[in-house]
Amino acid sequence: MRTVPVESYDAAIILGAKIEADGTPSPAMARRVAHGVDLLHSGRVRALLMTGGATTTATPEAWTMRQLALEAGVPFELVHVEDRALNTIENALFSAPLVRAQGWGRLVVVTDSFHLPRARYIFRRFGLAVDMSGARPEQPSRDWWLAHLREAAAIPWTILRVERALLRR
């Protein structure tokens, strides 16, 4: 896993990932939450913000992620939830008010490592000064490496969507 600098953060914003049809977390979700929990347990973050709405099941991703963190021993008062976002742009938009309400200044976003550049662009364009920390599987598969190509192809479309959203504000 890619690690964040040794400094500490007020919170880690953990981006949602798919919930399987049977209600279990996808490997990506489990990987991201485990990475965020590791950051908290190591003392590098003081709180977790799970962000993700109901995309593939009726349960919002953030609530499943919260449960994973609680099962990993994170105290419930350290796990915050944003449960409306359906994509990375909304993760940034809907997390921002929660970040301000908590008074958090130093933030790290946790997502899969292939997703880091696009997520960084989005969060920073919406005014959240974030560092990034990427989770990756112990044994990357062919699909893992193909995800890097999909992310590269998504960047131009993301730039258009973000800039259009900023113009509407």
Q: What is the pLDDT of residues 53-107, one digit of tens each?
A: 999 899 999 999 999 999 999 999 999 999 999 999 999 999 999 999 999 999 9
pTM of structure: 0.91
Is the per-residue pLDDT at 142 higher than 80?
A: no
């590791």: which residue's tokens? 38
Is the per-residue pLDDT at 1 higher than 50?
A: no
Taking residues 19-47, report their average pLDDT.
96
Q: In order of start, what are the domains of the chain with their CATH numbers?
A: 11-168 (3.40.50.620)
